[in-house]
Chain A
Amino acid sequence: MGWAIALHGGAGDIPVDLPTDKRAPREATLRRCLDLGVAALKAGHSPLDVVELVARELENCPYFNAGRGSVLTTNGTVEMEASIMDGTSKGCGCVSGLTTVVNPISLARVVMEKTPHIYLAFDGAEAFAREQGLETRDQSYFITEQNIERLKQAKEANRVQIDYTQPQPIKEQAIPRSEGDSQIGTVGCVAVDRNGNLASATSTGKMVGRIGDTPVIGAGTYANTICAVSATGKGESIIRNTIARDVAALMEYKGLSLKDAANQVIANAPKGTVGLVAVTDKGDVAMPFNTTGMFRACAVEDGHSEIAIW
């Protein structure tokens, strides 16, 4: 036994010929976040602190779809959601509909620790963030040049499909695939300390007015005394398959190992829709996915560590 940590930057249709200039900064971020998490675990920080810390770092990185760098709606706006769960107490905190909070995962933690509620959203969540003095920034902070360019290209691509004689209003829609990035939703982190305490955190950018799997406990995030799970991929698939909860349920109720439970859950979801990272109280790690790739990294106390995409 010993500590273990796993994190992801999203699963999806990541093309295997991803150019170096897109691949390198993402791998570097995964490396940096892994090192941060490992250092915190070695220093004896609680898994809850560790997953929050790592998720914040991932949110701050503009290359992944969470916090800064979140995918844009056709209005060019950003809306974020996140959830965190403490496996020991089963306490949870969730937020949705954030537009100015720099670190959604931290607001989720404050909801968990400072309110009798679990889930706050939209105006209520934004107001609470201000009450609690969390860092907020203007929308422009979250919008990266890269995403503006991508939005522009997407709109142009759409215009080509539309009959020029009848200009159509472009409704709210997801940015169509380009370089696989827009399919990449979500960042997440799971950790276990030497005492077997577990925690999970997940954060993402979303289309306006829509809630995905990320803030839904049991779907995108789950932690109890047996394992901690963070999922990524197609929201609908993760919600109806209660992905995160099912990994734990298979271990708990059917006695499966983490590897078998995680693989079964992934296999039962439609191909190309989900990935997850998970750790157990014994320090096991699993990072299965049924998409083309998943940005991921993990490390365990005995020294083994890994950073991968496909």
Chain B
Amino acid sequence: MAKWAIAIHGGAGVDPNLPEQRQEEAKRLLSRCLQIGVDTLKARQSAVDVVELVVRELESDPMFNSGRGSALTAKGTVEMEASIMDGRQRRCGAVSGLTTVKNPVSLARLVMDRSPHSYLAFAGAEEFAREQGVETVDNSYFITEENIGMLKLAKEANTILFDYRIPLPGADTCSASVGSLVPDTSLQMNGLPISIYSPETVGCVVVDSTGNCAAATSTGGLMNKKSGRIGDSPLIGSGTYACDLCAISCTGEGEAIIRSTLARDVAAVMEYKGLNLQEAVDFVVKERLDEGQAGLIAVSRNGEVACKFNSNGMFRGCATEDGYMEVGIWE
């Protein structure tokens, strides 16, 4: 019997001034979702069922950038994307441009299981959602007050470096640094000051008790993105990958992740260079990201788990069958 293992993430690239309270809230959410994953693994559920279930939980909570609480497009709407991959036979499903589907990862699963296609997007994906009878809601369901505030800051940050005459709206309520009114422009992710940047994506990777691996990733994407912008999360090989050796989910600067086909590369160096999971993860983050900032979580069929990031923090949690369980944000 193989050993199970699970890792989850809530995004890479965290504001170093994130208030203590927010950090605690995030860790509580990570612990809760991790526990759900652990319980279902102990109950011998399959890897692909577990990753879907855990990512659904992460999507439903507004804390992280996926489902409810997704980052907003330049138009102030939400456009979500997700992908899921089953290491057995490497079946996969992906969706982009969702505006009403409550749980994008579940639609991605349906694309994998119930359609002859791998990737559906925008109107085609929404239509498929209706055909399949998945739960849909108004776009406003996904939009939080906090993100409306963040979008405004992001637009200001994109157009002007910083104008001290303009008071930052909601500086006392949103997760931008409470102690300082100046966005920390020294640390940037994807062109945005880190206090405004919304760590992209949530994800989960699992190896179950039969040794099968699966991965799933879901996101609202980049804050203030052009409508129609697709990131790495729905792209198999970039944001998500699973095969019989391992499963990976990535987060961070989407463009850097795509360029380096980050998720696939972890598996490729294991497969073609014979590296073990940790070596593969270290190699890829160090050698393949160039100047990009990103992080990833990974599990191997041997029950190992690995997390790595070159960004400022990554919301994450890991657990293995021999009792190890930990959540974290910083290095």
Which A positions have Cβ atoms within 8 angstroms of B?
A: 90-92, 94, 96-97, 115-125, 127-128, 208-212, 216-219, 222, 235-236, 239-242, 245-246, 249-250, 253-254
Contacts and interface: CB of A to CB of B under 8 A. Distances in A.
A245 B288 CA distance: 13
A236 B117 contact: yes
Interface of A, helix, strand, loop or mixed by DSSP: mixed
Interface stretch (B5-13, B148-156, B260-268, B294-302): B260-268
B155 to A, nearest CB: 14
A134 B251 CA distance: 33
10 cross-chain pairs, A with B, having the tightest CB-CB distances, nearest first: A209-B124, A124-B228, A253-B272, A218-B237, A119-B230, A218-B261, A211-B119, A249-B268, A240-B90, A254-B272
Given A116-B190, A209-B124, A210-B124, A235 B228 contact: no
A91 to B, nearest CB: 7
B273 A254 contact: yes
B120 A217 contact: no
Contacts of B285: none
Nearest to A96: B121
Contact of B120 (A118, A209, A219): A209
A228 B238 CA distance: 18
A127 B238 CA distance: 26
Contact of B226 (A128, A216, A222): A128
Which one of A91, A116, A122, A211 has the highest number of Cβ atoms from chain B below 10 Å of its Cβ?
Answer: A211
A217 B259 contact: yes
A92 B258 contact: yes
B91 to A, nearest CB: 7
Interface string B104-138: 00000000000011111111110110000000000
A120 B92 contact: no
A236 B85 CA distance: 12
Given A118-B259, A239-B119, A245 B235 contact: no
5 contacts: A90-B290, A92-B258, A120-B230, A121-B96, A121-B121
A97 B122 contact: yes
Interface string B226-246: 111111000111100100000
B261 A122 contact: no
B260 A116 contact: no
Contacts of A117: 222, 225-226, 229, 255
Interface in B263-283: 264-265, 268-269, 272-273
Contacts, number: 143
A205 B258 CA distance: 23
Nearest to A123: B228
B231 A119 contact: yes
B237 A125 contact: no
Contacts of B237: 216-219, 239, 242, 245
Contact of B121 (A97, A116, A235, A250): A97
Contacts of A219: 236-237
Contacts of B96: 121, 211
Contacts of A123: 122, 227-228
Interface of B, helix, strand, loop or mixed by DSSP: mixed
Interface of B: 85, 90-92, 94, 96-97, 116-125, 127-128, 190-191, 222, 225-231, 235-238, 241, 254-255, 258-261, 264-265, 268-269, 272-273, 290
A93 B13 CA distance: 24
Which one of A117, A128, A236, A249 has the highest number of Cβ atoms from chain B below 10 Å of its Cβ?
Answer: A117
A253 B231 CA distance: 26
Given A115-B226, A120-B230, A240-B92, A209 B261 contact: no
Contacts of B122: 97, 121-123, 209
B119 A124 contact: no
B118 A235 contact: yes
Given A123-B228, A209-B127, A211-B96, 17 more contacts: A91-B259, A116-B255, A120-B228, A121-B230, A124-B226, A124-B227, A127-B227, A210-B119, A210-B124, A211-B120, A218-B261, A218-B264, A235-B117, A239-B119, A240-B92, A249-B265, A254-B273
Contacts of A90: 259-260, 290
B121 to A, nearest CB: 5
A246 B268 contact: yes
Nearest to B221: A117
A217 B238 contact: yes
B54 to A, nearest CB: 22
A216 B235 contact: yes
Contacts of A118: 230, 254-255, 258-259
Nearest to A91: B259
B289 to A, nearest CB: 11
A218 B268 contact: no
B246 to A, nearest CB: 14
Given A122-B97, A249-B265, A217 B258 contact: yes
B217 to A, nearest CB: 14
Contacts of B191: 116
Contacts of A218: 235-238, 258, 261, 264
B124 A240 contact: no
A255 to B, nearest CB: 9
Contacts of A119: 229-231, 235, 258
Contacts of B227: 123-124, 127
A120 B226 contact: yes
B228 A125 contact: yes
A219 B238 CA distance: 10
Contacts of B116: 236
A216 B236 contact: yes
Nearest to B261: A218
B121 A211 contact: yes
Nearest to B268: A249
B184 to A, nearest CB: 20
A259 B121 CA distance: 35
